[in-house]
């Protein structure tokens, strides 16, 4: 899951980024409205966290432009003003949720998680494929009742694959949603992480869940074989 933060106050952007990274999300930060608008329109983010007070281009205009460009990514707005009209304007312009500064970091994470869950059309919270269960709230992964310990990146990769189970995911898609802008696409990092995941999830089980689609990428599903 990849998140864009558009926030001009570097320290605010910084702690939000660190908090989300701890939750295994890939995070990009930009500090002005114009760059934010361009990034949001070009990159397929899973969530955008947008401050309304921005240099360059006001947050409301960014919101408008992103929605005009038919981007349906959930957007969480941050307003420094507790004024109702700001929030109403933001929600009317296409925001999905808002937080008023100062906010509790746990609330930000919970709202981000809820928005991501809603976007993937799953309201229960738990992700399940066969006997593999992933709980996004506490990052617990079990298979057949057995707990599986994953690193942050492995978890992020698995969550993305489970949210899109049955779909063929190309390497660029995986890179875009699991890694941030600093990711170097010319390495085999994705293949390495896929093999780590296979070791932890599929080894020792009759039914393999992670499959390689030759020439395309990977998919996670229960095959009938």
Q: How far is the CB of 131 from another protein (least distance, A)?
A: 29
Write out the E strands in 57-107.
75-79, 97-100
15 is a contact residue toward another protein (CB under 8 A) = yes
Cα atoms found within 13 Å of the Cα of residue 70, Cβ hemisphere only: 0
Which of 61, 64, 89, 103 is close enough to bind another protein by CB under 8 A?
A: 103
Rounded CA Rg of the chain: 18
Confirm if 61 and 34 have CB atoms less than 8 A apart.
no
If we measure between CA atoms, which residue out of 149, 84, 75 comes closest to residue 116? 75
Give the residue, chosen from 42, 58, 81, 172, that forms a contact with another protein under the rule CB under 8 A.
81
- Residue from 43, 105, 119, 181 touching another protein (CB under 8 A): that is 105
Residue 10, CA distances (Å) to 14, 56, 60, 183 in order: 6, 15, 20, 21
Q: Length of the chain in residues, anyone? A: 225
Interface with another protein includes 225 (CB under 8 A)? Answer: no
Query: Of the two residues 100 and 165, which places its CB atom closer to another protein in the complex?
Result: 100
Among 34, 41, 56, 173, binds another protein (CB under 8 A): 56
Q: How far is the CB of 106 from another protein (least distance, A)?
A: 7
* Contact between 18 and another protein per CB under 8 A: yes
Q: Which residues bind another protein (CB under 8 A)?
A: 8-9, 11-12, 15-16, 18-19, 22, 31, 55-56, 80-81, 101-106
């Amino acid at each position: 899951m990849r998140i864009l933060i558009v926030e001009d106050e570097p320290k605010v952007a910084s702690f939000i980024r660190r908090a989300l990274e701890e939750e295994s999300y890939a995070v990009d930060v930009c500090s002005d409205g114009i760059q934010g608008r361009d990034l949001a329109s070009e990159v397929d983010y899973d969530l955008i966290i947008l401050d309304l007070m921005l240099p360059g281009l006001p947050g409301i205009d960014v919101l408008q432009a992103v929605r005009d460009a038919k981007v349906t990514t959930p957007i969480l707005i941050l307003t420094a003003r507790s004024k109702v009209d700001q929030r109403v304007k933001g929600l009317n312009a296409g925001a999905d949720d808002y937080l008023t500064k100062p906010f509790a970091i746990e609330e930000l994470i919970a709202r981000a998680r809820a928005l991501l869950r809603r976007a993937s059309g799953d309201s229960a919270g738990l992700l399940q494929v066969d006997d593999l269960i992933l709980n996004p709230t506490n990052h617990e992964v079990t298979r057949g009742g057995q707990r599986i310990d994953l690193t942050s990146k492995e978890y992020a990769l698995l969550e993305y694959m489970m949210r899109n189970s049955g779909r063929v995911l190309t390497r660029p898609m995986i890179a875009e949603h699991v890694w941030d802008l600093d990711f170097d696409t010319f390495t085999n990092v994705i293949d390495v992480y896929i093999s780590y995941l296979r070791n932890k999830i599929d080894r020792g089980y009759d039914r393999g869940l992670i499959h390689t689609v030759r020439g395309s990428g990977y998919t996670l599903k229960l095959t009938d074989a």
